Chains A and B, each alone.
Chain A
Amino acid sequence: MSSLNVSGAFVYFVIPILGGIPITQTTVSSLIVTIILIVLSIRLGKNLQKRPTGVQVLVEKGVSMLYGMVAETMGEHNLYWTPFIGTIFLSSILGSLIGMTGFLRSMTADLSCTLVWAVLVSVLIWYNNIKNNGFIGWLKGFTEPIVVMTPMNIIGEIAQPVSMAFRHFGNVAGGGVITSILYLALSLLSNAVLGLIAANGVLIPIVLMAVGVGLIVWSKKKTHKKWSMVLGIVSSVLGVFGLLQAMGVLEGVPVLSFGIPAVLSCYFDIFSGFVQAYVFSLLTMVYIGNACPPPEETGAVQ
């Protein structure tokens, strides 16, 4: 029987400068993500041809998609924000997907990463607000509809980066915890089933194996019965491992946790990673776009 151990990123070692800087799994992952992005950018940006061929077509499509996204939400005058938005978007996607390799931990499954991005975006929003409206204008914006709304506006302003950070972190890290709980549940179920099969000696496992092989052979003859092939495979696998447990060779093999977590990982890792990266970038674009109005409205010379 196993138990679940949910913890933060594992600290590899601590650099003893400035009171100790810990090198954690997240640090290693983010370094690898940065190196991958830099190498990809340099490789794909070399030898650009006027008539694109090969990979350049895909790269141009991706870059024009990014520019289109920024122009749609922030306006044409804010296109200079695209490299920043693109960096956050690509880092977020790559940081969430890199946890699917077995030995690295997702960069965004650590609150340090998403909180720093959210605070960075907030500082940018405040700076642009102050630049466009002046310091007094920004403070006046808190009393905007009615003066008594000021505490609610201040709380809302603090809640923006906190909510962005926790949404991203919660989705990615929560998906990981749910997957590991699922692995634990399936392995407990496998233990129970194998214990039931192999409880009274080698007879039942051998019967199961024979039934399984028979079902597989039978389903090959009548090809419209797909369920009998699946049932045959499951039965023979259970029979084999039950036999091994009854003979005392291998005990408690988690045989049922083979395919199901992979299917769920399509939702939790891939889909959730993409959607959360897109939502984070979209919220960033909307907030910064609100803080940077078009130049004709402010009357300032751009």
Chain B
Amino acid sequence: METLAQAIMVAGKAIGAGLCMGIGAIGPGVGEGNAVSKTVEGMARNPEMAGTLRSTMIMGCAIAETTGIYSLLIAFLILFAL
């Protein structure tokens, strides 16, 4: 770390990537937890539909994960390509 400018840049990268992924991890966690809780409730109510419910839940979680993946990509972009 030769100059002050490089040090500031590395610090900025660290703060940016940390904030980006940290705040971006809240949404999918809460959303997918809600989805799984409703699925478990439905399975308890109607155990013979468990297979269908499980597949639909996995699919729904994959789509709800999208914004978390966006923030992961931006964090990687900030850390490794800027």
Contact = CB atoms under 8 A, between A and B. Distances in A.
A170 B62 contact: no
A279 B59 contact: yes
A279 B56 CA distance: 11
Contacts of B73: 166, 169-170, 173-174
A108 to B, nearest CB: 13
A278 B79 CA distance: 30
Interface string A168-188: 011101100100000000000
B76 A174 contact: yes
Interface SS of chain A: helix
Interface residues of B, number: 14
- Interface size classification for chain A: 10 to 19
A278 B80 CA distance: 30
A275 interface: yes
A223 B34 CA distance: 44
B63 interface: yes
A163 interface: yes
Contacts of B80: 4, 6-7
30 contacts: A4-B80, A6-B76, A6-B79, A6-B80, A6-B81, A163-B66, A166-B66, A167-B63, A167-B65, A167-B66, A167-B69, A169-B73, A170-B70, A170-B72, A170-B73, A171-B65, A171-B69, A173-B73, A174-B69, A174-B72, A174-B73, A174-B76, A177-B76, A275-B58, A275-B59, A276-B62, A278-B59, A279-B59, A279-B63, A283-B63
Interface of A: 4, 6-7, 163, 166-167, 169-171, 173-174, 177, 275-276, 278-279, 282-283
